[in-house]
């Protein structure tokens, strides 16, 4: 089974965003992309891939485990 590379996925996503800009307009496409990025990070948090305590420590300039 062939798998796609990140370059191929990037090209397809870029083409879809450009096509969306022509279809619905620039500002509307920005809103769609923004909510897609927010949804991505919410999904990562719900999957346990983002640790809020680690983010807080990094924001305050402390590093854990060092």
In a domain, 18, yes or no: yes
Query: Which domain range does residue 45 map to?
Result: 6-59
Residue owning tokens 């990070």: 41
Residue owning tokens 């927010």: 38
In a domain, 45, yes or no: yes
Q: pTM (2 decimals)?
A: 0.70
DSSP letters along the chain, please?
A: -----HHHHHHHHHHHHHHHHHHH-HHHHHHHHHHHHHHHHHHHHHTT---HHHHHHHHTT--TT-
**How far is CA 57 from its chain centroid?**
22
Q: What is the pLDDT of residues 12-42, one digit of tens each?
A: 999 999 999 999 999 999 999 999 999 999 9
In a domain, 64, yes or no: no
In a domain, 65, yes or no: no
Q: Contact, 11 vs 5, CB < 8 A?
A: no
Indicate the number of domains in the chain. 1
């Amino acid at each position: 089974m062939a798998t796609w590379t990140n370059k191929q996925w990037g090209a397809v996503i870029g083409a879809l965003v450009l096509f969306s800009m022509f279809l619905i307009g620039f500002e509307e496409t920005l809103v769609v992309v923004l909510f897609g990025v927010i949804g991505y990070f919410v999904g990562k948090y719900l999957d346990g891939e983002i640790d809020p305590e680690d983010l807080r420590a990094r924001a305050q300039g402390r590093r854990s485990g060092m």
